[in-house]
Amino acid sequence: MTGHERGSSSRPALSRCIRVSPDEFGLRYWGREPLLSTAADLERGFGDLFSAAAVDELVTRRGVRTPFIRMANEGSVLAASDYTASGGFGAEIPDQVSSDKVLAEFAGGATIVLQGLHRLWPPIIDFTRELVDDLGHPAQVNAYVTPPSSQGFDPHYDTHDVFVLQISGEKHWRIHAPVLVDPLRSQPWDQHRAAVARAATGKPEIDAVLRPGDALYLPRGWIHSATALGATSVHLTIGMAAYTRADLADALLRQLGDNAELRASLPLGLDLHDSEALAPIVAQTVQALVETLQQTDASRPVAVLSARFGAETRAEPVAPLATLEALAALDGSTPVRWRESLPVRVTTIDDRVRIVARTKTLSLPVEAEPAVLRLATGDTVSADELPGLDAESAVVVVRRLVREGFVVAPA
């Protein structure tokens, strides 16, 4: 249960990036085919998320450090010392971005890559959280800033799905079909460098110029390269680390330790080079493995993957100063709501209702259960509107939930 149901039918953040309905995207394109959407196809552009001015602000005024910035030129990643330096007195850490060095490299044709913008730039922080809610997979956001007529990276593929959102300038993209379909993280493109290079010489599946407001979706494995045209190009790349059936298999295999036969040691003196000696043991092991997996249910992989998802994504941020100020003024009429993108499990045991999140568990009297369930719908309500509690008790419960970071009081 969560205040904002992940994968909700409206999927507003996803809808901004695609020219088809979310349902059609899920059935036809997600993990299967690239999708090009022009600004004319979409309801709005992406200027509210990022801009060329934002690039300059991050480079000049934010003290960005590696690995949140890197640079590349014609396929080669530059040494960090080429674009970083000490921040001077009071900020002597040596890997901070140097605007002078960045200017020199950028003027020489190097691409600026601003990484982890889902942690640095407020509009992107909010948008990424909404997109994660829509898709149910973790996401990260980088900005690629390429000078005119330059190419930052050679043709390659990613091991995660991407959405490309063109912010400013124009960039010529060439997209080729995979040489390895659905590569895992352990199968990066440089393991197939020669095949990728050959494939990139053929006729592209997509050969298009992205202009401001255009968007491109690429499933993992699709080969791509891009060159800025007549002006500096700024685009966002949203990387979606899609969970796979291989991840599900890994989660299932974690229960093998429950089988005593699979925990047993191999025979003393076994010659591991002798396939005939090992064959019957392999057969027995496979049989025990099959029996163990046939006895499983979804609870174990659900626990593993949900814990991983919680660790790889972030709920709506809470503002410590504003929260304490809101608590001081909170009364029965104060509007509050569940913290967005915070998955929890609400259970009732005996005389207590427990709210279980990834990092903490809160226990309240069972009388608070109707109020907790009402808040967890995500609607904005006040303590006076909560069911099952008298006015004073409702305020006490809301205060506790705000203090513990489950509920927020919108400004």
| 230 exposure class (CB count in 10 Å sphere: 0-12, 13-18, 19+) | exposed
Whole-angstrom CA distances from 15 to 11, 22, 239, 340, 382 are 6, 6, 16, 19, 31
Q: Are residues 57 and 202 in the same domain?
A: yes
Q: Are residues 33 and 130 in the same domain?
A: yes
The CATH number linked to 74 is 2.60.120.650
2 part of a folded domain = no
Whole-angstrom CA distances from 346 to 352, 353, 364, 385 are 11, 7, 11, 20
Tokens linked to 165: 């959102």
Could you give the CA distance from residue 234 to residue 176 in angstroms, rounded to a whole number? 22
So what's the pLDDT on residue 88?
Answer: 93
Mean pLDDT of 130-137: 96
Q: Are residues 179 and 270 in the same domain?
A: no
310 part of a folded domain = no
Length of the chain equals 411
265 part of a folded domain = yes
Tokens linked to 82: 């080429």
So what's the pLDDT on residue 151?
Answer: 74
97 part of a folded domain = yes
Q: Which helix (H) or strand (E) holds 84?
A: strand 84-85
Mean pLDDT of 216-229: 95
Identify the CA nearest to 1 among candidates 384, 309, 312, 372. Answer: 372
Q: Are residues 222 and 92 in the same domain?
A: yes
Could you give the CA distance from residue 357 to residue 362 in angstroms, rounded to a whole number? 8
pLDDT: is 23 or 8 the higher one?
A: 23
- In this prediction, residue 74 has a pLDDT band, given cuts at 50, 70 and 90, of confident
111 part of a folded domain = yes
The contacts of residue 326 (CB under 8 Å, 6+ apart) are 334, 402, 409
Structural domain harbouring 158: 12-240
Q: Are residues 162 and 284 in the same domain?
A: no
Contact 126, 231 (CB under 8 A): no
pLDDT of 7 higher than 70? no
Mean pLDDT of 349-371: 95
Neighbouring C-alpha atoms within 13 Å toward the C-beta of 383: 24
**Residue 134: count of CB within 10 angstroms of its CB:** 23
Could you give the CA distance from residue 211 to residue 320 in angstroms, rounded to a whole number? 40
- In this prediction, residue 386 has a pLDDT band, given cuts at 50, 70 and 90, of very high
Q: Which helix (H) or strand (E) holds 215?
A: strand 215-218
Mean pLDDT of 118-144: 97
- In this prediction, residue 411 has a pLDDT band, given cuts at 50, 70 and 90, of confident
Mean pLDDT of 144-161: 89
308 part of a folded domain = no
Q: Are residues 373 and 393 in the same domain?
A: yes
The type of residue at 66 is: T
Contact 178, 222 (CB under 8 A): yes
- What digits encode the pLDDT tens for the residues 276-322? 999 999 999 999 999 888 888 888 899 899 989 999 999 999 999 99
So what's the pLDDT on residue 176?
Answer: 98
Whole-angstrom CA distances from 46 to 51, 171, 174, 257 are 9, 16, 22, 49
Structure letter (DSSP) for residue 386 = -
Q: How far is CA 169 from the centre of its chain?
A: 26
Contact 98, 88 (CB under 8 A): no
Q: Are residues 197 and 286 in the same domain?
A: no
Q: Are residues 236 and 262 in the same domain?
A: no
Q: Are residues 335 and 392 in the same domain?
A: yes
So what's the pLDDT on residue 6?
Answer: 44
Kindly compute the dihedral angle of the four CA atoms of residues 344, 348, 353, 356, in this order, to the nearest 10 degrees: -20
State which of 191, 214, 240 marks the end of a domain: 240
**Residue 10: count of CB within 10 angstroms of its CB:** 9
Mean pLDDT of 372-389: 96
Count of domains forming the chain? 3
- In this prediction, residue 9 has a pLDDT band, given cuts at 50, 70 and 90, of low
Q: Are residues 346 and 373 in the same domain?
A: yes
- What digits encode the pLDDT tens for the residues 28-73? 999 999 999 999 999 899 999 999 999 999 999 999 999 999 999 9
The type of residue at 113 is: V
286 part of a folded domain = yes
- What digits encode the pLDDT tens for the residues 233-269? 999 999 999 999 999 999 998 888 888 999 999 999 9
Q: How far is CA 318 from the centre of its chain?
A: 19
Whole-angstrom CA distances from 97 to 11, 16, 105, 143 are 36, 32, 12, 15
Identify the CA nearest to 142 among candidates 17, 242, 238, 14. Answer: 238
Q: Are residues 229 and 358 in the same domain?
A: no
- What digits encode the pLDDT tens for the residues 175-206? 999 999 999 999 999 999 999 999 999 999 99
Q: How many helices (H) does the chain have, and how many strands (E)?
A: 13, 18
State which of 240, 269, 289 marks the end of a domain: 240
| 186 exposure class (CB count in 10 Å sphere: 0-12, 13-18, 19+) | exposed
313 part of a folded domain = no
So what's the pLDDT on residue 3?
Answer: 42
Q: Are residues 226 and 252 in the same domain?
A: no
The CATH number linked to 373 is 3.90.930.40
State which of 206, 240, 274 marks the end of a domain: 240
Strands (E), 219-359: 223-228, 233-240, 337-338, 345-349, 352-356
* pLDDT, averaged across the chain: 94
So what's the pLDDT on residue 300?
Answer: 86
